[in-house]
């Protein structure tokens, strides 16, 4: 595994090259509280091109910001920095990474070539409706600069994911991506935001293997 660090906002992002080669890259986005795998997972070995994995801010080998401030949009910005580095690619998102991948796809529909969403920590987030504000508390003794950052776990676990917000991103994909199938949902979990996008013609059910076959480009 080869790792490079990308300067992004006031942090450094760890981007891991799990396998080199030619062709369209696959970028793995991990779940909440997790980090990138150290090698290509067996379930992804059939991908024909290079495979990369990103440690989100506050996770793995990436920087830990002071005093939190985590949102899915901030993590989307992390992934967007990788897109700028690697060029057009396919996304493999686990849990939280699946939702972040959707946001990036809707924002960059011509540069993302497909998204596979699988189960993992943080798939649900804080639900689809805002509730009474909660004061999040993280013990000072837990703030030691290690990952995963406790602020990331607290804030991203309660991040609200409105149905219409997810649906708006899929509509952008429908209009601009030019793909018959843009998203393969391989998760058993179906939070409200994910159930909402399943009604789109460019979103389909399938396992990870189906997604890899659908989006693989020699």
Q: What's the pLDDT tens digit per position in 10-64? A: 789 999 999 999 999 999 999 999 999 999 999 999 999 999 999 999 999 999 9
- If one counts the domains in the chain, the total is 1
Task: Say if residue 146's pLDDT is above 90.
Answer: no
Strand 112-118 and strand 26-29: pairing?
Answer: unpaired
| Percentage of the chain exceeding pLDDT 70 | 92
Task: Say if residue 174's pLDDT is above 70.
Answer: yes
Q: What pLDDT, on a 0 to 100 scale, did the predictor assign at position 89?
A: 98
Q: What pLDDT, on a 0 to 100 scale, did the predictor assign at position 67?
A: 73
Q: Give the orientation angle of helix 72-86 with respect to helix 96-107, to 10 degrees.
A: 60
| Average pLDDT along the chain | 92
Output the CA angle 92-5-110, nearest 5 degrees: 40
d(CA 66, CA 105): 28
Tokens of 197: 């996008």
Please report which helix (H) or strand (E) contains residue 54, including its range.
strand 51-55
Tokens of 204: 């389909």
Closest CA to 119 of 97, 136, 100, 149: 97
Question: Which residue in this structure is represented by tokens 């596979």?
Answer: 116
Q: What is the mean pLDDT of residues 106-122?
A: 98
User: What is the Cα gyration radius of the chain?
Assistant: 16
pTM of the model: 0.94
Strand 26-29 and strand 51-55: pairing?
Answer: parallel
Q: What pLDDT, on a 0 to 100 scale, did the predictor assign at position 130?
A: 63
Q: What pLDDT, on a 0 to 100 scale, did the predictor assign at position 45?
A: 97
Closest CA to 43 of 18, 24, 61, 21: 18
Buried b (16+ CB within 10 A) or exposed e, 65-102: beebebebebbbbbbbbbbebbeebbbbbbbbbbbbbb
Strand 11-19 and strand 51-55: pairing?
Answer: antiparallel
Q: Give the residue numbers spanning the domain of 75.
A: 2-215
Q: What CATH code is carried by the domain that includes residue 121?
A: 3.40.50.1820
């Amino acid at each position: 595994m080869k790792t490079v660090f990308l300067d992004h906002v006031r942090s450094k992002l760890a981007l891991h090259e799990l396998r080199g080669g030619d062709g369209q890259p696959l970028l793995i986005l991990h779940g909440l509280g997790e980090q990138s795998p150290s090698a290509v997972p067996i379930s992804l070995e059939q991908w024909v091109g290079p495979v990369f994995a990103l440690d989100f801010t506050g996770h793995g080998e990436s920087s830990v910001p002071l005093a939190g401030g985590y949102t899915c949009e901030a993590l989307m910005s992390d992934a967007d920095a990788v897109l700028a580095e690697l060029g057009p690619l396919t996304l493999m998102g686990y849990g939280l990474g699946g939702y972040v991948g959707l946001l990036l796809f809707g924002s960059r529909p011509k540069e993302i070539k497909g998204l596979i969403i699988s189960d993992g920590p943080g798939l649900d987030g804080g639900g689809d409706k805002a509730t009474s504000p909660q004061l999040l508390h993280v013990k000072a003794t837990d703030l030691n600069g290690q990952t995963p950052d406790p602020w990331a776990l607290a804030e991203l676990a309660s991040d609200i994911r409105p149905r219409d917000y997810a649906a708006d991103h899929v509509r952008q994909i429908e209009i601009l991506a030019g793909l018959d199938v843009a998203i393969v949902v391989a998760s058993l979990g179906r939070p409200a935001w994910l159930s909402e996008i399943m009604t789109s013609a460019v979103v389909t059910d399938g396992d990870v293997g189906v997604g890899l076959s659908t989006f693989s480009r020699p």
